[in-house]
Chain A
Amino acid sequence: RMEASCLELALEGERLCKAGDCRAGVSFFEAAVQVGTEDLKTLSAIYSQLGNAYFYLHEYAKALEYHHHDLTLARTIGDLLGEAKASGNLGNTLKVLGNFEEAIVCCQRHLDISRELNDKVGEARALYNLGNVYHSKGKNVASAGTHDPGELPDDVKNALQKAANYYEENLTIVTELGDRAAQGRAFGNLGNTHYLLGNFRSAVLAHEQRLLIAKEFGDRSAERRAYSNLGNAYIFLGEFETASEYYKRTLQLARQLKDRAVEAQACYSLGNTYTLLQDYEKAIDYHLKHLVIAQELNDKIGEGRACWSLGNAYTALGNHDQAMHFAERHLEISREVGDRSGELTARLNLSDLQMVLGLSYSTNNSMMSESHVADNSLHGTRPRAGRRHSMENMELMKLTPEKVQNWN
């Protein structure tokens, strides 16, 4: 009677998770664990599903705990396929938690067992997971510094190159298996890896494949992702018109899918693209749209970015009053969110704007006199010297000679 009860609870948990209600599914699985069962394979399946449910709920510590239980159990009962699956899930969870070295060990175990069992599907999935771990590892180290795609330290480059190799290996197998959905995923992440490596042409080729497959499946989220990634790659190829076309499609789909955050991102990307095209009216139009959504979503960082971008665009148009307004707002928000570099940038923009407007530094505008003092304390020198210093810190994008003509 107790056995049946555990099974019934677990079945209800499975049904709820499949229906997309992981939170309710978790309660049933936990109830099933409470009741308990002597059948260890059933228990292993419950642990595994609990781990996945917590993973989808972004509760990674819990996911780790249950996938670990599942792995221990699978080993205890000598279930090799079960061990492979548990290792893969544990690997994915460790990756999200930033523990890349252990994640690699687990995903490698998934791969080794799959090969031992001659399980091609499992092998392909393990290769994809390994690619993801190396991609995250590379991106994580890269984002610790301030690098543009393509300008990377050796360890980052090595990790990303490994990721690309694993995605390629995965693609060979899933192409043999005729698994189009898996091909789509691999192309998408391969494209992003090439992008980080600075291979923008290869990135475009991969994302074009991703787009094709997304359309085949009528998967509009994947289609939107592909447009956005294509836009990013074309920016770095200096082909801003093409980038703007892809970002517009991203925006269109974001609106259809009613995803406000993605809509905001698309507007921001379009604002930046029109800035690069020196069409500042359109840039302002999109940055204002981004600003409205950022405020609506209470995204302070996004709001700060919008104000900075708007300040720059209005400055370029010679509308210094509006530029001043947004530079001040950028300063306020940078302070609020504790963004030191944003704060410094805003102060420099303000001081430049004040110079243009012919105001002296000794103005009684409290914000400006404060910023003057802070600039001195930061650099122990006059503001102009501080300005040059900070411009260096901003590390303006290094342009290759053939790109420069597009940017000027």
Chain B
Amino acid sequence: SQPLAGRQAAELQPKVVPSKQILHSDNMEMEPETMETKSVTDYFSKLHMGSLVYSCTSKRKNK
């Protein structure tokens, strides 16, 4: 005959049925957003500030 513990487990079996509470479907892994970028250096050439750009960037490179 079936052992007592086994029978008890069988009686409780319905709770082991997976529910959406157990199987969480909200852990989807999304890809990152893409943001549009602007840069102050984009506009340097138009501002005729080439020498400034050079001095700024070279100063930084030397750091």
**Which residues of A come within 8 Å of B, CB atoms?**
4, 7-8, 10-11, 14-15, 39, 41-42, 44-46, 48-49, 52, 55, 70, 82, 84-86, 88-89, 92, 110, 122, 125, 128-129, 132, 135, 143, 146, 148-149, 182, 184-186, 188-189, 192, 195-196, 210, 222, 224-225, 228-229, 232, 235-236, 265, 268-269, 272, 275-276, 305, 308-309, 312-313, 315-318, 320, 341, 345, 349, 352-353, 356, 391, 394-397, 407
Contacts and interface: CB of A to CB of B under 8 A. Distances in A.
B1 to A, nearest CB: 15
Contacts of A315: 9, 12, 15-16
Contacts of A7: 40, 49, 52, 56
A349 B16 CA distance: 11
Contacts of A110: 36
Closest 10 CB pairs of A and B: A318-B5, A85-B36, A225-B29, A45-B38, A188-B31, A185-B31, A48-B38, A318-B9, A41-B43, A10-B40
Contacts of B57: 11
Contact of A195 (B28, B41, B60): B28
Contacts of A192: 28-30
A195 B29 CA distance: 11
A291 B31 CA distance: 27
A269 B27 CA distance: 9
A189 B12 CA distance: 39
Contacts of B62: none
Contacts of B60: 11, 15
Contacts of B14: 391
B47 A129 contact: no
Contacts of B32: 185
Contacts of A235: 23
Interface in B1-21: 5-6, 8-9, 11-21
Contact of B33 (A10, A132, A146, A265): A132
A396 B22 CA distance: 10
Nearest to A318: B5
Contacts of A10: 40
A309 B9 CA distance: 15
Contacts of A82: 38
Contacts of B39: 14, 45, 49
Contact of A229 (B9, B26, B29, B43): B29
Nearest to B60: A15
A146 B57 CA distance: 55
Nearest to A355: B11
B55 to A, nearest CB: 9
B26 to A, nearest CB: 7
Given A11-B40, A312-B16, A395-B19, A232 B28 contact: yes
Given A42-B43, A312-B16, A4 B35 contact: no
B36 A316 contact: no
10 contacts: A44-B38, A45-B42, A122-B36, A125-B34, A143-B26, A312-B15, A317-B9, A356-B8, A397-B18, A397-B19
Nearest to B32: A185
A312 B27 CA distance: 21
A42 B23 contact: no
B27 A356 contact: no
Given A14-B40, A397-B23, 20 more contacts: A10-B40, A11-B57, A41-B46, A85-B36, A122-B36, A125-B36, A129-B34, A135-B30, A182-B34, A185-B31, A210-B31, A268-B24, A272-B23, A275-B16, A276-B18, A313-B16, A315-B12, A316-B16, A397-B17, A397-B18
